[in-house]
Amino acid sequence: MSVGDTTTVRQRAHRSVLTAALGDLRALLGERMSTGDSVLAQYGRDESWHRPQLPDAVVFPETTKDVSDICAICYRHEVPIIPYGVGSSVEGALIPVSGGVVVSLGRMNQVLSVDPGNFDCTVQPGLQRRALNEYLRDTGLTFTVDPGADASIGGMVATRASGTNAVRYGTMADVVRAMEVVLVDGTVIRTGTRAAKSAAGYDLGHLFIGSEGTLGIVTEITVRLFPIPETVVAMTCCFETLKQAVDASVEVMQASLPVARIELLDDLMIDAVNSYSKTAMPVVPHLFFELHGDPESVRRNAEAVEEMVKAAGGFSIEWSENREEQNRLWRARHDCAYACMAYRRPRKMLTTDVCVPIPALTDCILSASEDAKANDIVAPVLGHVGDGNFHMVLLIDPDDVDEIRRAEGVSRRLVERAIAAGGTCTGEHGVGLGKRDYLVLEHGSAAVETMRAIKRALDPKGLMNPGKILPESQIDTA
């Protein structure tokens, strides 16, 4: 039998297995399964520049049992499983590179319980961040992790998201207390408890947080909540140079002032935001601060921040305690990704997501910005600079091979500088397709092989979101 004949036989066998799997899923879910072209196209992409790829079907579970049954069917037929939240990934983590079944968790979007006395709530994974805080509005509590996009809580668990509040309140790794997880064969397990801490056994919760759907599907999450601060002061200030802005943020953090957020936007990002959000901010680098607490301490700390900012060259410094004005300001900040997409159409975003020790922040940002300019790449910069995390958004034409090559070079050198400084290739977006090549550089080959061993133990057939994080870990069962 020739190689071509062997390939044809394998393809026919695959189609036969897939047909059987889809038949079983249709019998289980009825109209909650779709193979329509428009639905497949919708769930074959995310917000990244990576090319979309179509799944074979999309399913819409409503309960943990649904998810368990779906996984059991896919496991039996050896069909890939790709969990999906709202599609806000920017690293290609949701793209079904091997086809298979996308498990859309959007219908699992309920708040299951709230316990103000224990400062926690339990939710389903499809619930989005803004909807949760709207639900909590009258409790005096808030969910603090704010990645910018209105992501789903399950997606935020999958990528170990953080965002603008992380400098004060921590990341998803800090606020998740317990989870319910469906493994690849349909087995349901629970991780953690609602207690504030535990020393009982291996920390399975943190194994799944940041695993990007490659180890299982999270179906319930218990998260820690925080009291809504009595007083919130937002402050904006301008700088003539990017170096002045970054240096000022570093000085504020090294002074240990209790800020809740420090956000950096360079002049390109301000220009993009002005155009998209209809604002009129001066087109120069900006810092955005937010301070939380009682009225006296907040104002005292805000005055200290203002003095340091002025000494570093800041000007046009404005305060606001008005919540409406603050919401307008932060909504513009949250629109940065969409502002970038609209800035130089038909460009796509190749995002960077490094996080470095605070002393290395200035050199890392300036070197990256200069590298992008030298390679004729439009690359706005924004960052959660309070914890050393920043994003350079390289705007590229996916059909321009040379531009992609230059942009990937800029991104690669940025990651290499960050890791050399003691940092990471991804502070909050996850690995997905975009950062796979850097894991050995960051962690070493022995640590990455340990990750592969965990993957093989929990997903022996390589079915959970194959091709992501550790593409070599998918087992060839042909």
Strands 381-384 and 259-265: antiparallel
Q: Phi, psi (5° rounding) for residue 156? A: -65, -35
Please state whether the peptide bond connecting residue 96 to the residue before it is cis, i.e. omega within 30 degrees of 0. Answer: no
The kind and range of the H/E element at 368 are helix 361-374
Q: Where are the alpha helices (DSSP H) in 202-241?
A: 204-208
- How far is it, in rounded angstroms, from Cα 30 to Cα 240? 60
Asked if residues 220 and 124 have their Cβ atoms less than 8 Å apart, the reply is yes
Fold classification of 111-227 is 3.30.465
Q: Hey, where are the domains in the chain?
A: 3-106, 111-227, 231-420, 440-473
Q: How many CA atoms lie within 13 A of 16 on its CB side?
A: 6
**What's the length of the chain?**
478
Tokens of 439: 């894991």
Question: pLDDT 10s digit of each residue in the chain, 478 long?
Answer: 444 554 454 455 578 889 999 999 999 999 999 999 999 999 999 888 888 999 999 999 999 999 999 999 999 999 999 999 999 888 999 999 999 999 999 999 999 999 999 999 999 999 999 999 999 999 999 999 998 778 999 999 999 999 888 889 999 999 999 999 999 999 999 999 999 999 999 999 999 999 999 999 999 999 999 999 999 999 999 999 999 999 999 999 888 888 999 999 999 999 999 999 888 899 999 999 999 999 999 999 999 999 999 999 999 998 888 888 887 777 777 788 888 888 876 678 888 999 999 999 999 999 999 999 999 999 999 988 889 999 999 999 888 999 999 999 999 999 999 999 999 999 999 999 989 999 999 999 999 999 999 999 999 999 999 999 986 544 333 3
Q: What is the pLDDT of residue 219?
A: 98
- How far is it, in rounded angstroms, from Cα 110 to Cα 131? 10
User: What count of other Cβ atoms lies within 10 Å of the Cβ of residue 47?
Assistant: 20
Which of 152, 172, 151 has its CA nearest to residue 108? 152
Which of 459, 473, 476 has its CA nearest to residue 83? 459
- How far is it, in rounded angstroms, from Cα 88 to Cα 199? 34
Q: What is the pLDDT of residue 6?
A: 45
Q: What is the pLDDT of residue 333?
A: 76
- How far is it, in rounded angstroms, from Cα 447 to Cα 72? 30
Place of tokens 């997501």: 353
Beta bridge partners of 180: 190, 220
Which of 178, 175, 177, 122 has its CA nearest to residue 147? 175
CA 212 vs. chain centroid, Å, equals: 9
Which of 221, 205, 5, 224 has its CA nearest to residue 125? 221
Asked if residues 233 and 198 have their Cβ atoms less than 8 Å apart, the reply is no
Q: List the beta strands (DSSP E) in 280-401.
A: 286-293, 315-320, 348-351, 381-384, 389-396
User: What count of other Cβ atoms lies within 10 Å of the Cβ of residue 417?
Assistant: 18
**What distances in angstroms separate CA 2 from CA 5, 154, 406, one per listed residue?**
5, 46, 41
Q: Report whether CATH 1.10.1760.20 matches the domain 231-420.
A: no
Q: pTM, whole model, 2 decimals?
A: 0.91
**What distances in angstroms separate CA 458 from CA 376, 446, 464, one per listed residue?**
44, 19, 9
Name every residue whose Cβ is closer than 8 Å to that of residue 163 and which is 6 or more positions away in sequence: 145, 146, 147, 148, 384, 428
Tokens of 47: 């917000």
Tokens of 228: 């809504």
Tokens of 152: 């789903």
Which of 92, 79, 94, 107 has its CA nearest to residue 13? 79
Q: What is the pLDDT of residue 7?
A: 44
**What dotted CATH number matches 3-106?**
3.30.43.10
Q: What is the pLDDT of residue 474?
A: 44
